[in-house]
Copies of this chain bind each other. A is one copy, B any other.
Amino acid sequence: MPATTPLSLHQRILAAADDLFRRHGVGVGVDLIASAAGTNKMTLYRHFESKDALIAEWMRGIIAQKDVAWDEIIAEHPGDPNAQLVSWSRRTAASLAQMEERGSAILNALAQIPATDHPARLVIDEHRRREHQRIIDLCREAGFPEPEFTADEFYFLLEGAKACVQCIGLKRVGEHLMRLVDTMVATHGKRMQN
């Protein structure tokens, strides 16, 4: 894939949708997305079965990025669940910058999709279960007592940060998040020494 290779139409449409969905929510019209991608609605529908399918694929892309991030985390700190947890929180704090304007893309999409059987929701639900389980496994691997409870607390803080960027601001939420996570790690460390 040389650097000069232009993006395929499929990719360009997805990129345009990503930009518009993040800024204005999944309510934006397909016509606008096609225009932003430098093409038209007809061609968009030659690449995506429906708008819902486009939304779902967009979600899958976002989640795939997170999976890549997890792979990197594990590669950077193999066998060190504590460091992996901290790295995860730091990465999440860093990613808050993308959401300052309109908040978490996933949370917004959830709020904007009322139908519980929407394909994108199924994708999100499954991702949440996996992410949650990942944290539980890490907490157990780290030897924390009550790994489920501790994992919930981590998850709670991270999701809370995403929801709060709009009202408190990026910088402060990041600081709070790291401070709280550090406190939690320290607390559980103390408990482990008992």
Contact = CB atoms under 8 A, between A and B. Distances in A.
A27 interface: yes
Interface string A24-66: 1101000000000000000000000000000000000000000
| Secondary structure class of chain A's binding surface, majority of residues | helix
A183 interface: yes
For the complex formed by this chain, how many copies does it contain in all?
2
Contacts of A110: 103, 111, 166
Contact of A160 (B111, B160, B175): B160
Interface of A: 24-25, 27, 103, 107-108, 110-112, 114, 128, 132, 149, 152-153, 155-157, 159-164, 166-168, 172-173, 175-177, 179-180, 183, 187
A96 to B, nearest CB: 12
A110 to B, nearest CB: 7
Contacts of A179: 153
Nearest to A167: B128
A172 to B, nearest CB: 5
Nearest to A168: B152
Contacts of A152: 168, 172-173, 176
Contacts of A164: 155-156, 159-160, 163
B159 A176 contact: no
